[in-house]
Structure 1
Amino acid sequence: MKTTALIAEDEALLAANLQSELVGLWPDLEIVAIVGDGRSAAREALRLQPDMLFLDIRMPGMTGLECAEALAEEWPEGGKPFPLIVFVTAYDEYAVQAFERAAFDYVLKPVQTPRLEQTCARLKERLKERSPDSSVPASLGGIVIQMRELLAAGSPQPAHLAQDSAPLRIIQASVGNTISMVPVDDVLYFEAADKYVRVVTAQREHLVRSSLKELLQRLDPQRFWQIHRGSVVHCDAIASAQRDESGKLTLTLREHPDRLVVSRLYADRFRGI
């Protein structure tokens, strides 16, 4: 069977150039789809289950990193092996720091033939060594977190968050004409809810008009752990982590009846000592 690949790149000329280069370097490689945004990449990857993905890190709607997160959570158990991922980036310093020692490769835009040739050689070797199971590589979660931090470092902070770089201490939640001051220490978990984030404490919950991605930039990562692309939990609020027969992890909280599911991408956080 032919080796298959999907290209996700929002600039049509760059996508066409990458396809042309791959065809020249790897004649037996079949490009099964070329898409221009992360949501389409995730949808088509789940449908076509290619052997590898070339994901532009910055794409509209859903970035390449968010696409990788979504696939890690939704990749079917017992299906084809999780695809090898090559991140495509115009930011050399990000790529070098994040991928130099990882089991993922990267190529810089515009694509250079010698560098892409190295990537193809590595991919061919990894395809030979790849396990037939569908498990998500353990290092993917760390790569996503590290890349998100690097990319966020140069992004402007939203106006409704504090202006300095220190971790948030207070969240201002508006309801009508009232603004509730919610100490971050009281928050048990955050959950994405469309254009809002649910802020859940032991006593009540609030909605703030923000994205979880924006909040993550201001939370202390030692205390607030991302456990799913849509949820972040205060580590002190976790009472236990239970794994079922299929390997799915669920968290029980100390002061709240809600139970939180941990995605495969972040399951590596929970290991017995």
Structure 2
Amino acid sequence: MLRIAICDDDPHMLSRLSALCKKILPEAEVTEYISGVDLLSGNGGFEIILMDVRMEEMDGLDVIKRLQSRAQEKFPGRPCVIFITAYDDYVFEALDLFPFHYLLKPLDEEKFAKVLKLAAGKYRKKEKEEAILFHTKNNHLRLYPSDIYFVESNLRKVIINMENEHFEIYYTMAELEKLLGSAFFRCHRGYLVNLDKIRSYDRESIKLTNGSSLILSKTKYAEFVDAYMHYLALEEG
């Protein structure tokens, strides 16, 4: 079940957002929190978090930082965070936390519905996806391939790069290329890129949605374009 947390210290906004979520996604389980402290003391496990920024006890940015730190200690993979605030001066600080979106009050309900449905679609796609268990030197990691941005070789190890964290594992690039499947492309002998995370490309490099830039081998360019176009066609149905 899709679980949504709403955190806002304005009771009227809290009720309004809750009603909108239930209307837009009637199958979702919606939980309301009047403060960030209440949210942090809860059980968690939400796929989507709607977060106010400026609140009295603890601001929304600090709440998300703590949630992300807690998640990193237990497992990678984080909920879609949508900041909803009346203040646009927090946007750059918020972007450092890699939110799904940043919406301004007064709330545009049509835009909110579109963003919420996109976030729910991301969850549904992952719900059908099988996680892969990786082994590191110190622990075990359960990762969803869709959360991986790219893989890079590092001597006898490889580095799995997520949105804003990375993990070293003892695998070969060939093993991961086979394991991750056709949604990933070996754009260079040292890189394996998630085709879903590409923002732009040219004949020499690939830019990803998190700002990373990867080398695109000249001998791989034509094959890459074919693979990427095929992937996009499949995604569009």
TM-score after normalising by structure 1: 0.43
Question: Which structure would you say has the larger RCO, counting Cα contacts within 8 Å and 6 or more residues apart?
Answer: 1
